[in-house]
Amino acid sequence: MDDTVMENLTCESNDQMEVMTFKRCEQKTYKNSSHMVGVFEVLQSLRKDKVLCDIRIETDDGTIIFGHKVVLISVSTYFREIFIDFNESNIDLINIRELDSTVLQLLINYIYTGEIIITKGNVKVLLAAANLLQIDYVKNVCSEFLQTQLDASNCLSIKAFADLYDCMELSTSSQTYIKNRFLEVVNYDEFLSLTSVEVIKLISCNDIIVPLEEKVFECVIHWLKHELDSRKDFLPELMEHVRLPLISKQYLLEKVVDEPLLKSSPKCKDYINEALQFHLLKYLQPFTVSQTIRSTPRQSIGFQKVILMLYFYSRKSSVTYWYDNIWQPAPTMSKWFEEGCLTVINDQFVLAMGSVRLVPSCQRVKMLDISSQSPSWIPMMDMLVNRKYFGVGSLDNCVYAIGGCDGDTNIVLNSAEVFDTNTNKWKMVTSNMSTKRCYHGVGVLNNLLYVVGGYDGNVCLNTVECYDPCLDTWTPVAAMSECRFECGVGVLDGVLYVIGGYNNKSECLKSVEAYTPSSGVWTTIADMHFCRQCFGVVVLNGLLHVIGGCIDKVVVNSIEIYNPKTNTWSLKTLSKNVGHIYSGVVVNRPSHFKTYDD
């Protein structure tokens, strides 16, 4: 092509560039998503062909593996420290005697490809090798793989392995599994192979799930007898962590007292005497609270509180434990507590109070110790006054029965009486309410007992008064905007809530009022979904729960849950229809209460 033609083409090109215009003057970055994959595929091919490799790695069996330093240091801190930090960039051969060639080859392949094959057979050596070479991703996925393999036969060894290589998530998962499946774990050889220190660490946990402390005792004896000659000296140390006072008295006398191993140990005899004395004290003083760790019930993993519901079905009263539609049976009641109610002390001691059907002149009181390994309803001293339709509140280890109707004359009462758990006796409260009341609600707030609404024998009430036990005085407070009887009362975050009930027109209500002592004013909050009367109210997990009840004698089979932060109610339908639920309390989760995940 001659110079004249070239000159003409150049001129034309310049002319085109001058007329070319753009809408924007922005730049745009393009990224080839397959670029890095392609690069590493080439590098892997070069490594396999030993091309441009600048490092050889020798393993314990003499195998030589080739590689590129720049690739190895991009993934492994171990190699980075050797080639850069330790100023060994000129070496072309290193020895890694801690690893066999198969595992090292898997890890080098991972560095070049990003893929790793994990099996039951190689997972532990692979994790150990990844830990040595500081390849975090492989270590983490090996840990995840081991979590999927946890079972009662291997969880103890996996926990020990996780601790050895500082795999915190795997260690936590293993520990939780061990505690949740304690009764299964102790049946396998891994448990029998533990050291005395490891056994003590396990049985001293406060949150192992074990329905009966007898099982802890049995596993300790089983472990000892597995290698009796070398282990018998550890018996006193082990028995220190078995909570003998929680074992039933019958089992103590039949199995523990006569155990030959314990008879030969003075220290173990002391533990047995402590347990027997605890049972005697509980018999004489049912409200005795645990004073030592050995007499303190273990706390299950997960949620710590449940609701104990009192309900009426098929002409009898019954109780059941409930949490998020998980139901567990509670000890049966032998009597029908007509118009009865529950109250609780220290989330542990539940009192059921009310008149017994067909024995109208008798006001029964029974107590259930939730912490007991063999819980049952224990008769307590009856109330002094034959009350029905009364209100109940617990304050400072005392239970107050307030107002109601005389069971013989049906006269509405303004008196109150108090049960002192220290003396196990009832006594009358000296001062009386200013107004006679029955079908009222009671709430405890700021160490005061608030009595709200009710019925005085003629009209429905909206008045409220509170009792100060320290001063033994009743004081009127602001009246509610609505008259209410058979309403419910709950206290949450310093606010007193009065819920539902009937008004003076005998209309069932779904409205709710809230009272704050600092302001002395009642305010209306969001309505419930349903009208209710004669129901239970409890506070659980920072939310107000309204349980069961009726609408004009029709059972309401649901729970409404109030969130004060959003001023909203959520509705939860109960998965069982147990009948008319008319009272409830929040208690410590019993040891036998299981969740779907337990």
Of all helices (H) and strands (E), which one includes residue 280? helix 266-284
Give residue 359's pLDDT.
Answer: 55
Find out whether 238 and 200 touch, Cβ atoms under 8 Å. yes
Percentage of the chain lying above the pLDDT 90 cut = 63
Final residue in a domain of this structure, among 254, 284, 314: 284
Q: Average per-residue pLDDT in the chain? A: 89
Q: Which residues contact 544 (CB under 8 A, 6 or more apart)?
A: 490, 492, 497, 537, 538, 561, 562, 564
Q: Which pLDDT band holds residue 452 (cuts at 50, 70, 90)?
A: very high
Q: What is the pLDDT of residue 94?
A: 86
Residue 126 predicted with pLDDT over 50: yes
Q: Which residues contact 128 (CB under 8 A, 6 or more apart)?
A: 165
Instruction: Write down the pLDDT at residue 265.
Output: 93
Identify whether residues 482 and 347 lie together within a single domain: yes
Q: Are residues 273 and 319 in the same domain?
A: no
With H, G, I as helix, E, B as strand and everything else as coil, classify residue 12: helix
Residue 244 lies in a domain: yes
**pLDDT grade for 89, boundaries at 50, 70 and 90:** low
CB 99 within 8 A of CB 129: yes
pLDDT score for 245: 93
What pLDDT is attached to residue 390? 94
- CATH number of the domain that residue 142 is part of: 3.30.710.10
290-295: average pLDDT: 81
Residues 504 and 408 in one domain: yes
Helix axes 155-164, 168-180, angle to 10 degrees: 160
Residue 2 is assigned to a structural domain of this protein: no
Whether residue 498 sits in one domain with residue 441: yes
Between CA 365 and CA 383 the distance in angstroms is 7
- Using DSSP's 3-state secondary structure scheme, residue 564 falls into coil
Q: Identify the band that residue 20 occupies on the pLDDT scale cut at 50, 70 and 90.
A: low
pLDDT for res 564: 96
Predicted confidence (pLDDT) at residue 25 exceeds the cutoff of 80: no
Instruction: Say if 386 falls within a structural domain.
Output: yes
Strands (E), 250-397: 305-313, 316-323, 326-329, 337-345, 349-356, 359-369, 377-379, 387-388, 391-395
Residue 164 is assigned to a structural domain of this protein: no
φ and ψ at 528, to 5 degrees? Answer: -70, 170
- Crossing angle of helices 213-226 and 196-203, in 10° steps, is 180
Are 333 and 468 in a shared domain?
yes
Residue 597: pLDDT band (50, 70, 90) is very low
- Cβ count near 290 (within 10 Å): 15
Question: Cβ distance 528 to 560 under 8 Å?
Answer: yes
SS3 category, 523: strand
What's residue 29's pLDDT? 82
**Of 458, 359, 365, nearest to 412 (Cα)?**
458
Q: Give the distance from CA 225 to its chain's centroid.
A: 35
Q: Which of 115, 149, 183 is the last residue of a domain?
A: 149
Same domain, 420 and 559: yes
* 426 and 384 belong to one structural domain: yes
Same domain, 235 and 358: no
Better pLDDT: 158 or 592: 158
Confirm whether 504 is domain-assigned: yes
Q: Do residues 467 and 449 lie in contact, with contact meaning Cβ atoms separated by under 8 Å?
A: yes
> Which pLDDT band holds residue 590 (cuts at 50, 70, 90)?
confident
CATH code, domain with 432: 2.120.10.80
Mean pLDDT of 278-305: 80
Task: Out of 284, 318, 338, pick the residue that ends a domain.
Answer: 284
The pLDDT of residue 284 is 84
Is residue 11 in a domain? no
Per residue, what are the HEC states of 302-343? CCCEEEEEEEEECCEEEEEEEECCEEEECCCCCCCEEEEEEE
The range of the structural domain enclosing residue 74 comes to 35-149
Q: How many domains does the chain have?
A: 3
Task: Please check the confidence at residue 37 and state whether its pLDDT lies above 90.
Answer: no
Q: What is the pLDDT of residues 454-496, one digit of tens each?
A: 999 999 999 999 999 999 999 999 999 999 999 999 999 999 9
Distance between CA atoms of 547 and 559, rounded to whole angstroms?
A: 5
Tell me: do 240 and 387 sit in the same domain: no
Res. 289: pLDDT tops 90 = no
Residues 323 and 221 in one domain: no
Q: At residue 3, does pLDDT exceed 60? A: no
State the Cα–Cα distance between residues 564 and 541, nearest whole angstrom: 12
pTM: 0.73
Nearest partner of 161 among 176, 177, 146, judged by Cα: 146
pLDDT at 363: 63
**Tell me, what amino acid is at 381?**
M
Query: What's residue 15's pLDDT?
Result: 53
Same domain, 409 and 368: yes
pLDDT of 308-333, one tens digit each? 999 988 777 788 999 888 898 899 88
Domain-located, residue 94: yes
CATH number for 274: 1.25.40.420
Give per-residue pLDDT as tens, 572-589: 999 988 889 999 999 988
Q: What is the pLDDT of residue 373?
A: 75
Tens digit of each residue's pLDDT (9 = 90 or more) over 338-395 = 667 899 998 889 999 987 655 555 667 899 998 887 788 988 998 999 888 999 999 9
pLDDT tens for 100-109 read 889 999 999 9
Answer whether residue 48 shows pLDDT above 60. Answer: yes
Q: Are residues 316 and 278 in the same domain?
A: no
Whether residue 303 is predicted with pLDDT greater than 70 in this model: the reply is no
Whether residue 18 is contained in a domain is answered as: no
Confidence check: pLDDT of 218 > 90: yes
> What does the pLDDT look like over 250-259, one tens digit per residue?
999 999 999 9
